[in-house]
Amino acid sequence: MSNEEKLTPAFLEYLEECLLQDRMGEVAQVVEDMHPADIAEVIDRLDVTLARKLLDAMPNALSADVIVELDDEVRYDLFEEYSATEIAEKVIGELDSDDAADLISELPEDRIQEVLGKITDDTQAQEIAELLTHEEDTAGSLMAKELVKVNQNWKLMRCVREMRRQAEDIEHVHTVYVVDDENVLLGTLSLKKLLTTSTRTAVSEVFEPSVVSVRTDTDAEEVARIMRKYDLVVIPVVNEDNQLMGRITIDDVVDVITEEAGRDYQMASGLTQDVEATDDVVMLTKARLPWVLIGMIGGVLSSRVIDFFDITQFPEMALFIPLIAATGGNVGVQSAALVVQSLASEGGFKDSLMSKLVKDFGVGLLTGVICATVIFLVSFALGSGYNLAITVSIALLSVIVFAALFGTFIPLMLHKVNVDPAVAVGPFITTTNDIIGLFIYFGVGRVIMM
Amino acid sequence: MSNEEKLTPAFLEYLEECLLQDRMGEVAQVVEDMHPADIAEVIDRLDVTLARKLLDAMPNALSADVIVELDDEVRYDLFEEYSATEIAEKVIGELDSDDAADLISELPEDRIQEVLGKITDDTQAQEIAELLTHEEDTAGSLMAKELVKVNQNWKLMRCVREMRRQAEDIEHVHTVYVVDDENVLLGTLSLKKLLTTSTRTAVSEVFEPSVVSVRTDTDAEEVARIMRKYDLVVIPVVNEDNQLMGRITIDDVVDVITEEAGRDYQMASGLTQDVEATDDVVMLTKARLPWVLIGMIGGVLSSRVIDFFDITQFPEMALFIPLIAATGGNVGVQSAALVVQSLASEGGFKDSLMSKLVKDFGVGLLTGVICATVIFLVSFALGSGYNLAITVSIALLSVIVFAALFGTFIPLMLHKVNVDPAVAVGPFITTTNDIIGLFIYFGVGRVIMM
């Protein structure tokens, strides 16, 4: 079982007291059997002086693992307290190259060089510097250099010997890669084969030659899609000459998947920055205000549309303004969300833009006819009068068909011009559909009611 | 590299032709070096007769892997064509217990027993039957029985021998579990230790005693959260007596994470069923219509509110109906989405309901004051008159504060009573806020304008 049951306000208070009273032996004992991720949750809630004190009471290997798991902002504040040498020795020196590069890349530009200069292990410094050259959100920026590889010409006995040596520096051995003399990736050697075959066999006779790999410049989301599709726990990364450069493990990709899903979700719900409920009031307001204001601009424009068509002439048309606006918004968001989801999972086969639009026209028409019929009967039953009932029905049908097409078209266009289509879902589509829906409504009204 | 580049309409056509003309040698050659997941994408697009023909042309081990990757509906149609014996021997017999149990659980009730009866390997039949007893969306329903375990009293040499034997039946060895004589989970043995320690050492001396595990009845989403938090590739599953029952690998959990994120996203965008853009027009309409109709009910109720306050008396109030409704909806959805996200990632520390509401009150107030000021100036500048401007401002402030609180409260309440809080995001919050917002708007208007 995990140690999450320890994470209570009472425990936090107790730990703070220990730290304040310098009962460090007690502190060390308390955190000894806790998982780094749990200790990080505690530190996220301590002030920076106590946090530092707690980290200093741990072995470097543990405190480094804890620091990796901290909230970005907490880590930022903490590193302000550390000297470049301390970061290099106490933290970076204890980490795998991918985590090390991630932490260093978060530092201010001038500190990056300083910390790199303080790393005593030249190979590590070089590896990290290389990882830092890869563009963000590519396979190169996600990968780690630590891996176990064997030459196709070796016998299995030598493999085991070499693997022992390589494994010294590596926490988990996921896969053994097979390369040729030029470090070109040829395939993998399964641990099962290694366990069940005679040690005098050559690697080339027993390795698995087909292996799914990605290139250093492959987009992170594409890496996630491939690993998901092929059920991979680890994937090798190669350069343009198919030379083995590193490997990406699924835990990093799970982070990519959840971040991406979270971003889409936040955009669909009108949040403009990556915020969490635990952020403070000002940060939350900052993330929320832009979309609220854009929605308000839409509202003001809507008021101009209503004014333009002179509502005072047909005040009863006001009754169905919310219905028209809400329905257009709902349908548009549905279409846009479906496009975003299908673009994210699209791998091999792709449907054409035209076939997508034709299908959404069908869905819009079917939905529109049903809704228009319903609203005709309801508004008539509510005593709205024949003219208003027919106006609302025709407008609703038009709005729904338009919203379905518009909601499909906009994210597809954004995707074409390499903008994240997810920005189209949520307030953007809703607001636009509000305005256009009212135009249609009052346009139809002017023709029928006059 | 993967074989996705093969997945083109031209390839599909060529393969269909080969299958129709019985050029089976060519077919076998073409699919030979393709990944099961890619073959599955092809079969998803073939009609069931050709699909069956293609699968029959492959070795059973491969066709079983392909069948696992098929779309649920395609697999359903395909299994209609298979006899129970064929399913048991050609498919189930070739799969790990977790995949086997998943496929069997999709069958109609009477076929489940029939297929279980046809499984020739008694151990497998028993294991699958046990897996089927676990409730859906629990660790028990996700786990596989295949794993490698060693007894704490063994020497490493015996471990390697036993592991070789156990590994015969297992595709990937992720972790070696250490148990006592009662099968109680004690910890793990790292492959690194196994590679780097003398073979005469006892397991008990070198194994890692701390291991994060879940219980068979742990919720699937909780399993996902734990594996993400602790960066796990595989997690052991134990029963109430801490006996080792199985293990869950990250690929299955990634599916849980993406499905969950997809479900939340679909609910936020008003889709009631799990649909994909590739589904047909009727299915898509079915998934979309319910929320559109609920939105329409909201629209009709809104028309009653507007009618109740007699819009014909103050027709100029109609101008800002869309503004009030849209802003209330946007703010409510933001709050609800933040709650849903924070509930999903909440592990150890939990904030109280009161502190969450207080914070959202703060955010609402700050956002509301800013928006109210803006709209006062804008509406005044547009010549709305002092009374209308003040009405809109006061109403907007009230609507925003209410929407923030309401959007926070509803999903938290749903969570308390064990309903997925994600249903609150999207049309539900928007529609309710529309109606209440209009009440506030016209209520304020009646006081100020009269």
pLDDT tens-digit readout, A270-316: 887 677 777 788 888 888 888 888 888 888 898 888 888 888 888 88
| Bridge partners for A249 per DSSP | A234
Q: CB distance from A289 to chain B under 8 Å? A: yes
Place of tokens 């726990």: A233
Name residue B116's amino acid. L
Three-state SS annotation for B156-195: HHHHHHHHHHHHCCCCCCCCEEEECCCCEEEEEECHHHHH
Q: Identify the domain boundary among B137, B159, B180.
A: B137
For chain B, say whether A230 makes contact (Cβ under 8 Å).
yes
pLDDT at A180: 94
Q: Out of A365-379, B179-193, B335-349, which region has the weakest mean confidence (pLDDT)?
A: B335-349
B320 and chain A in contact, CB less than 8 A: yes
Can you spell out the DSSP letters for B356-394? HHHHHHHHHHHHHHHHHHHHHHHHHHTT--HHHHHHHHH
Is residue B264 situated within a structural domain?
A: no
For residues B323 and B392, the answer to whether their CB atoms sit within 8 Å is: yes
Compute the distance between CA of residue B236 and CA of residue B177 in angstroms, rounded to an integer: 8
Separation of first and last alpha carbons in chain A? 73
Quote the pLDDT of residue A4.
Answer: 77
Task: Provide the pLDDT for residue B1.
Answer: 44
Q: In CATH, what number is assigned to the domain containing residue A47?
A: 1.25.60.10
Measured at the alpha carbon of residue A288, what is the angle toward residues A284 and A289, in degrees to the nearest 5? 115
Residue A10 contacts B, CB cutoff 8 Å = no
Token duo for residue A341: 């989801």
Instruction: Give the pLDDT of residue B352.
Output: 72
Q: In angstroms, what separates the C-alpha of B110 from chain A's closest C-alpha?
A: 31
| CATH code of the domain containing B203 | 3.10.580.10
Q: Closest Cα of chain B to A11: distance in Å? A: 10
User: How far away is chain A from the Cα of B112, in angstroms, using its nearest Cα?
Assistant: 26
Question: Number of structural domains, chain B?
Answer: 3
Q: Mark whether B192 and B340 lie in a shared domain.
A: no
Among chain B residues, CA nearest to A161: B195
Query: Is B265 in contact with A341 (Cβ distance < 8 A)?
Result: yes
Q: How far apart are CA B403 and CA B324, in angstroms?
A: 11
Hey, is B119 helix, strand or coil?
coil
Closest-CA distance, A89 to chain B, in angstroms, reads 24
Contact A337 B266 (CB under 8 A): yes
Contacts of B348 in chain A (CB under 8 A): 4, 6-7, 38, 41
Helices (H) and strands (E) in chain B, counts: 21, 6
Say if the Cβ atoms of B323 and A339 lie within 8 Å.
Answer: no
Q: Does residue A102 register a pLDDT over 80?
A: yes
User: How many CA atoms, within 13 angstroms, populate the side-chain half-sphere of residue A265?
Assistant: 30
| Res B171: pLDDT | 61
**What are B156-169's pLDDT values in tens digits?**
888 888 877 776 66
Helices A321-345 and B250-268 cross at an angle (nearest 10°) of: 160
Is residue A347 one of the residues assigned to a domain? Answer: yes
How large is the average pLDDT for residues A6-35? 88
Rounded to a whole number of angstroms, the distance from the CA of B168 to the nearest CA of chain A is 7
Question: For position B424, which CATH number holds?
Answer: 1.10.357.20
Min Cα distance A81 → chain B (Å) is: 26
> How would residue A240 be classed by pLDDT, with cut points 50, 70 and 90?
very high
CA nearest to B382, candidates A437, A299, A428: A299
Q: Reduced to 3 DSSP states, what percent helix, strand and coil does chain B have, rounded to the nearest 5? A: 70, 10, 25
Nearest to B315 among A192, A299, A315 (CB): A315
CA distance, residue B135 to nearest chain A CA (Å)? 21
B343 and B411 Cβ atoms separated by less than 8 Å = yes
Query: Is A307 at the interface with chain B, CB within 8 A?
Result: yes
Backbone angles phi, psi at A147, to 5 degrees: -160, 165
Q: Which residues of A touch B318 (CB under 8 A)?
A: 306, 311, 315, 318, 321
B377 touches chain A (CB under 8 A): no
The whole-chain average pLDDT of chain B stands at 87
- pLDDT at position B368 over 80: yes
From chain B, pick out residues whose CB is under 8 angstroms from the CB of A415. none
Residues of A in contact with B286 (CB under 8 A): none
- Are residues B37 and A192, on separate chains, in Cβ contact within 8 Å? no
pLDDT at A380: 84
Q: What does A335-367 look like in DSSP terms, one character per residue?
A: HHHHHHHHHHH--S----HHHHHHHHHHHHHHH
What's the CA dihedral at B306, B307, B310, B311 to 10 degrees? Answer: 50
Looking at residue B346, what is its pLDDT? 67
Residues B298 and B405 in one domain: yes
Q: Are residues B285 and B410 in the same domain?
A: yes
> Residue B70 and residue A183: Cα distance in Å, rounded?
36
Do residues A414 and A312 both lie within one domain?
A: yes
A99, A166: one domain? no
Q: Are residues B428 and B369 in the same domain?
A: yes
pLDDT > 60? residue A2: no
Q: Which of A294, A319, A292, A321 is nearest to A305 (CA)?
A: A321
Residues B161 and B246 in one domain: yes
**Percentage of residues in chain A with pLDDT exceeding 70?**
96
Look at residue A273 and tell me if it is in a domain.
no
Predicted TM-score (pTM) of the model is 0.81
Query: Does B362 contact A at CB distance below 8 Å?
Result: yes
Residues B311 and B221 in one domain: no
Q: For residue B342, is pLDDT > 90? A: no
Angle between the B427-449 and B281-308 helix axes, to the nearest 10 degrees?
20
What are the chain B neighbours of A229 within 8 Å (beta carbons)? 37
CA–CA distance, B234 with B174 (Å, rounded to integer): 7
CB contact under 8 Å between B254 and A250, yes or no, is yes
Is the Cα dihedral A72, A75, A77, A83 positive or negative? negative
pLDDT for the residue A68: 93
Boundary (domain end) residue, out of A137, A166, A192:
A137
With an 8 Å Cβ cutoff, is B397 touching chain A? no
Instruction: Answer whether residue A1 shows pLDDT above 50.
Output: no
Minimum-distance CB partner of A319 among B174, B311, B337: B311
Classify residue B275: in a domain, yes or no: no
Count A/B contacts: CB-CB distance under 8 Å: 388
> Residue A417 corresponds to which amino acid?
V
Asked if B77 contacts B48 with a C-beta cutoff of 8 angstroms, the reply is: yes
Cβ neighbourhood burial of B406 (10 Å; 0-12, 13-18, 19+) = buried
User: Do B363 and A288 count as a contact with CB atoms less than 8 A apart?
Assistant: yes
**Could you tell me if B301 and B409 lie in one domain?**
yes
Q: How far apart are CA A334 and CA A322, in angstroms?
A: 18
B391–chain A Cβ distance below 8 A for any pair: no
| A95 & A175 share domain | no
Put simply, whether B283 touches A (Cβ < 8 Å) is no
Average pLDDT over residues B14-41: 89
CB-nearest to A303 from B35, B266, B323 is B323
Q: Which residue of chain B is at minimal alpha-carbon distance from A159? A: B195
Q: What's the start-to-end Cα distance of chain B, in Å?
A: 73
Torsion over CA of B16, B20, B25 and B26, rounded to 10 degrees?
A: -30
What single-letter amino acid sits at A36?
P
B303, A322: Cβ pair inside 8 Å? yes
A131-156 average pLDDT score: 90
User: What percentage of chain A reaches a pLDDT higher than 90?
Assistant: 35
**Do B115 and B210 belong to one domain?**
no
**Residue B109 lies inside a defined structural domain of this protein:** yes
Interface of B with A in 198-227 (CB under 8 A): 210, 212-213, 226-227
Q: Residue B402: which of B373, B429, B375, B370 has the closest Cα?
A: B429
Contact between A41 and B349 using a beta-carbon 8 Å cutoff: yes
B27 and B75 inside one domain: yes
Q: Which of B212, B331, B341 sits opposite A276 (nearest CB)?
A: B341
- Does B257 contact A at CB distance below 8 Å? yes
Least confident interval from A4-13, A90-99, B133-142? A4-13
How far away is chain B from the Cα of A110, in angstroms, using its nearest Cα?
Answer: 31
Position A311 scores a pLDDT of: 81
Whether A333 contacts A407, CB under 8 Å:
yes
Radius of gyration in angstroms for the set of CA atoms belonging to chain B, rounded to a whole number: 30
Residue A316 and residue B312: Cβ atoms within 8 Å? yes
Nearest CB to A302; choose among B168, B322, B431: B322
Domain annotation covers residue A166? yes
Average pLDDT over residues B34-61: 91
Query: Strand, coil or helix: what is A85?
Result: helix
Identify any residues that bridge with B202 across adjacent strands, giving them in sequence order.
Answer: B155
The pLDDT value recorded for residue B167 is 67
Residue A344 within a domain:
yes
**Residues 100-159, chain A: which have Cβ within 8 Å of B?**
none
Comparing CB atoms, the residue among A173, A333, A351 nearest residue B191 is A173
Tell me which of B82, B110, B137 is where a domain ends.
B137
Instruction: State how far residue A233 is from chain B, nearest Cα, in angstroms.
Output: 7
Please judge whether A363 and B7 are an interchain contact, meaning their C-beta atoms are less than 8 angstroms apart: no
A176-200 average pLDDT score: 86
One-letter amino acid for residue A203 of the chain: V
Q: Which residue of chain B is at minimal alpha-carbon distance from A208? A: B33
Specify the pLDDT at position A315.
84
Phi/psi of residue B214, each to 5°?
Answer: -125, 165
Q: Determine the structural domain holding residue A9 and report its residue range.
A: 4-137
pLDDT of A69 > 80? The answer is yes
How far is Cα B63 from Cα A444, in angstroms, rounded to an integer?
58
The verdict on residue A176 lying in a domain is: yes
CB contact under 8 A, A164 and B196: yes
Q: What is the mean pLDDT of residues A250-256?
A: 87
What contacts A349, CB < 8 A, 6 or more positions away?
A: B7, B8, B9, B12, B41, B45
Beta pairing class for B176-179 and A185-189: unpaired
Of A285, A326, A294, whose CA–CA distance to A427 is shortest?
A294
Q: Which of residues 410-429 of A touch B (CB under 8 A)?
A: 425-427
CB atoms within 10 A of CB B277: 20
Among partner residues B281, B299, B370, which is closest to A359 by beta-carbon distance?
B281
| CB–CB contact B167 A192 (8 Å) | yes
Q: Does residue B105 have a pLDDT over 50? A: yes
